[in-house]
Structure 1
Amino acid sequence: MLTLPAPAKLNLMLHIIGRRDDGYHLLQTQFQFLDFCDQLTFSPGDKSSSDPVIVLTPEIPGVANEDNLIVKAGLRLISYCREKGNTTPLNDVTIELDKKIPMGGGLGGGSSDASTALIGLNHLWQLGCSIDELAEIGLALGADVPVFVRGFAAWAEGVGEKLSPIEPKELCYVVICPDCHISTQEIFCHPELTRDTEIMTITRALDQGGHNDCEPIAKAAYKEVAEALDWLSQHGKSQMTGTGACVFAGFNDKETADAVLAALPEHWQGFVAWGKNRSPLHSTLAI
């Protein structure tokens, strides 16, 4: 049995600088991990004479087992290794998901779960795939998966797949989770989304910070996001992560962050977590 974390992430900025002919948006963003994590527990079963069966428990309401990114990650890993000529019988596996990261919040929970599945199953089955190989497999599952696979805070460009290591300050964050689920597709398809933000260098972005081009669209469409941003801005610089809905502000110490969280209106949900430039998953496995 193997239990591994799947950390949340923040986009410390998210600039949209263009759009490709295939509709994908060109981004510049800073990723940083949080020590707020889902947990995946891998329990091996018998060796399978064919391809192993992957069972996910409990199923996520509204998401068929075969459509879950965790199962998809495992199946793609098997397919990749079979194509490389690895015919070794592999154990069936049950993966128990302890879900803490809210869905549709811009915290990357699904992508992180997929990454932990790839790394965990590669370890459990002793497949010997490199981080580069796992990142390549992960990219087909989502643009955010490679950053979780590689495990370092990153400056990302392209559609999010071109990664450079960065070392932003590790602040203590208050994260508020508005009671709404925002579709990434809805935000990126919005006709009023800014798609021509000025291109920045990594050094300038780290020195001056940035903004989130998706935030005005989410605020206009979801009053819950606007209200959370307005409330949190009374305590620090507030902004939205990813395409929403979660919003955050960073503080230098946990005592201040805890005090802000304690003042949160009763009908809102939130948490305090430290930013981490090395993924808790990689720290756990000492990758």
Structure 2
Amino acid sequence: MRSLHGCPAPAKLNLFLHIVGRRADGYHLLQSVFQLIERGDTLDFDLRADGRIHRTNDVPGVPEDADLIVRALQRLAAAYRERHGRAAPGIDVAVHKILPMGGGLGGGSSDAATALMAANHLWQGGFSDGELMEIGLPLGADIPFFIYGRTAFVEGVGEAMQPVDGPDCWYVVLEPGVSVPTPAIFAAEDLTRDTKPVRIADFPEANLLSEFGKNDLQAVASRLFPPVAQAIEWLGQYGAARMTGSGACVFCALPGEAQADQVLGQVPTRWRAWKARSLMQHPLKSLLQNNEL
């Protein structure tokens, strides 16, 4: 096999996001439940013979040498050389982006995770999921989750995960039209950093419309970016609306596709909006296992 095309890189939602402390090095300690959803970017991979790692298409605002995909593959190639005693074959990557940047959906991290899993398969690298997670973690705290590949209760800086049963539901997601820079949110003086920790057993898995917890980053993002606050207020008419990650996207859980369609039909034209079903497992894992790509 010399190519893998149409590899999914699904988005994630933070069903809640609590900041429970801060390490001495400045990294924030969090608790969250990460939920994969059935919407995301797709990537195409083709082997090269010259060892080069190359992104074949432009991604607006993301130079090739700064792209998490390229950087992750460079780290994988270095690990490959160390393990196998020879250079990795090289790879071409085409990225088909539909997820907004600065949306809190983990798009860049998901793309990098998909690249690591696909290249490991094409290169026959033999790296375990745990090893791929270690390779990806220095580039982004969300990358290990996407390699982990299922709904998870997440702690630490994002690297400690335990499986949980997330809701089987549909989400309506609004894109408020702004890109929220994560560093600006975490640097805010009024960010809550001492939320009381919860236990994994506290998460109400069965209640998909539960208002469990909150997003500690939401108040800061809403203050700095008023369109986020406006989207939360509007979507709150239909359920427990909440921002995901550090923003800007806002979501609401609904019990079925018909209800999601009803909400979508009411969305003001100034916002982009879409629906997505919850995912129990990363779709790339089964595709690779069954050689279905």
Aligned twin of 1:118: 116
Q: 2:76 — aligned with what?
A: 77
Pick aligned residue for 2:254 from 228, 251, 255: 251
Q: Secondary structure at the match of 2:62?
A: coil
Superposed counterparts of 1:1-287, under 5 Å: 1-3=3-5, 4-45=7-48, 47-48=49-50, 52-84=51-83, 86-206=84-204, 209-286=212-289
Residue deviations 1:214-272 (CA, integer Å, cap 9, x gap): 00001111111011001000011100000000000001100100110121111210110
The runs of 5 or more residues in structure 1 that have no matched partner are none
Contact 2:55 2:94 in 1 (8 A): yes
* Pairwise CA distance, 1:285: 2.0
The secondary structure found in structure 1 opposite 2:116 is helix
Q: For 1:201 and 1:279, how far apart are their aligned partners in 2?
A: 25
Instruction: Verify the 8 A CA contact 1:7 1:281 in the aligned structure 2.
Output: no
* Per-residue Cα deviation, 1:129-174 (whole angstroms, up to 9, x for no partner): 1111001111111110000011111001000100001111121000
Deviations 1:67-93 (A, max 9, x none): 100000110001112223x13454332
Q: What secondary structure does 2:110 align onto?
A: helix
TM-score (norm 1): 0.95
1:164-208 per-position Cα deviation (integer Å, ceiling 9, x unaligned) = 011111210000011100011000010000000011001113366
Return the letter of the residue paired with 2:172: V
**In the aligned structure 1, how far is the partner of 2:194 from the partner of 2:88?**
48
Residue by residue, what CA displacement relative to the aligned partner does 1:4-62 show, whole Å, maximum 9, x if unpaired?
A: 100000000000000001000000000010110100000123x22xxx11111322222
Contact 1:115 1:146 survives alignment (8 Å): yes
1:23 is paired with a residue whose SS is coil
Contact 2:77–2:87, Cα closer than 8 Å, also in 1:
no
3-state SS, counterpart of residue 192 of structure 2: coil
C-alpha separation in 1, matches of 2:252 and 2:233: 11
Distance 1:173 1:201 in 2: 25
SS at match of 1:18: strand
SS of equivalent residue, structure 1 residue 140: helix
Inter-partner Cα distance in structure 2 for 1:43 and 1:18: 43
Q: CA deviation at 1:284?
A: 2.4
- Distance in 2 (CA, whole Å) between partners of 1:42 and 1:227 is 40
TM-score (normalizing by structure 2): 0.93
For structure 2, the 5+ residue unaligned runs are none
Distance in 2 between residues matched to 1:108 and 1:284, nearest whole Å: 21
Code of the aligned partner of 2:113: S
Contact residue 81 and residue 88 of structure 2 kept, 8 A: no
Supply the distance in 2 between the matched residues of 1:277 and 1:185 (Cα, whole angstroms). Answer: 30
Query: Aligned letter for 2:232?
Result: L
In structure 2, what residue type is equivalent to 1:66? D
Instruction: Count residues with an aligned counterpart.
Output: 282
Does the 8 A contact of 1:172 with 1:253 survive in 2? yes
